[in-house]
Structure 1
Amino acid sequence: MAKYSEKFKFMIVKEYLEGKLGYTLLAQKHGVKSSSQVEQWVKIYDEYGKEGLRRKTKKSDYPVQFKVDVLSFMKRTGSSLMETALRFGLTNPPMITSWKKAFLEGGMEALDKPKGRSPMSDQAKNRRKNKNTDETSMTYEQKLERENELLRLEVEYLKKLRAFQMDPEAYLEKHKQRYHSNSKKNSD
């Protein structure tokens, strides 16, 4: 996937806003792979200004519940990636697709896994060795406790999904404060 600079994106958006060329012709003219990419930049610019076109230097880590709420909203309303992203203040709509894929493949637990690899210290390497031996030697009781915890998470998710489906506006309003406070913490 090609990475474009903020300056390049802004130049294309400005050219689009001048009204001389459409998404497709601009994409062809500047060698952007897809006209939908240009359209996405324009919509993000309209919503967030030049700041929205900036590449994020630090990856945002959204809470699992936020990701679930975004996916639930998208499924319930049939909104597009772009509409959903704008609704929840996300400037990278394809991120929602990766959340959806992770959720379908591994459930809520998969949404909690950070993307990429963290550097491994000596302690982490030792813990990893111990964990590999521990997983194979887990007692039946420990396996049941683990399964029980996963089932509790699933029930909690289903309850929140049902509440969201019954009254999405009230649910979003109730949890709106939490999203804003989390996003402010992540931007510090």
Structure 2
Amino acid sequence: MVKYADDFKVMVVQEYLRGTIGYKSLAEKHGIKSKKQVIDWVNVYKKFGVEGLFRKKRHEVYSVQFKLDALSFMKRTGASQAKTALHFGLTNPSMIGDWNKRFLEGGAEALDNPKGRPVMSDKAKNIKRDQKPTQQDEMTREQKLERENELLRLEVEYLKKLRAFQMDSDGYLEKHKQRYHSNSKKNSN
């Protein structure tokens, strides 16, 4: 995946907003792989301003419930990944697609697994690799069952929300509109 400099993104968006050139032409002119990338930048700029285009230095961690809410919203409304991301205050629409793929492959439990390799502490780096984990390091059977139980509760809650939406989509959206709006502001900071 190509990373673009923040100043470059701003320049491309401002060039588009001047109205002299379209998405596709801009992408070709500046060697951007897809016009969709330009569209996403423009949408993020319109919603969040220049700060929205700047890459975050640290990765935000979103709760399983937040991810389920976003996926539920996308399914209920038929919104695209980009529109769903903007609705929830996210600047990276591809995250929604990744969450959807993981949910379809492994259910709600798959959404709880962080992407990538966890950061190693200095202490962990010094432990020899051939040492077996102690009993304290391993989750007990009871802890594993509690974790599984919580993930199943989240999945059931998601399915209940989906069913409620399917029965009365307009009423459900109106009832939950304020909650989604406030969630997106909390999690986008």
Measured against the shorter chain, the TM-score band is 0.7 to 0.9
How do 1:13-92 residues align onto structure 2 when only pairs under 5 Å count? 13-92=13-92
Alignment CA distance shift 1:27-1:182 (3 Å): closer
Alignment CA distance shift 1:182-1:8 (3 Å): closer
1:159 corresponding residue in structure 2: 160
Residues paired across the two proteins, number: 180
Alpha-carbon separation, structure 1, partners of 2:73 and 2:162: 9
**How far did 1:175 drift?**
5.8
Instruction: Provide structure 2 residue ranges, at least 5 long, that are not aligned to the other structure.
Output: none
Alpha-carbon separation, structure 2, partners of 1:69 and 1:128: 39
**How far did 1:39 drift?**
1.0
CA contact (8 A) 2:72 2:158 kept: no
**How far did 1:148 drift?**
5.0
Q: Does 1:114 align with 2:100?
A: no
What fraction of aligned residue pairs are identical, expressed as a percent? 57
Structure 2 residue matching 1:3: 3-state secondary structure: coil
Q: Does 1:169 align with 2:170?
A: no
Alpha-carbon separation, structure 2, partners of 1:29 and 1:94: 24
Give the TM-score of the pair, scaled to structure 1. 0.79
Give the TM-score of the pair, scaled to structure 2. 0.79
**How far did 1:164 drift?**
5.0
1:129 corresponding residue in structure 2: 133
**How far did 1:155 drift?**
2.7
Q: Deviations over 1:3-32 (max 9, x none)?
A: 001100011111111111111111011000
CA contact (8 A) 1:163 1:171 kept: no
Instruction: Provide structure 1 residue ranges, at least 5 long, that are not aligned to the other structure.
Output: none
Higher helix share: 1
CA contact (8 A) 1:66 1:179 kept: no
- What is the identity, as a one-letter code, of the residue corresponding to 1:159? K
Q: Does 1:11 align with 2:11?
A: yes
**How far did 1:120 drift?**
3.2
**How far did 1:160 drift?**
3.9
**How far did 1:81 drift?**
1.3
Alpha-carbon separation, structure 1, partners of 2:85 and 2:94: 9
- What is the identity, as a one-letter code, of the residue corresponding to 1:68? L
CA contact (8 A) 1:164 1:171 kept: no
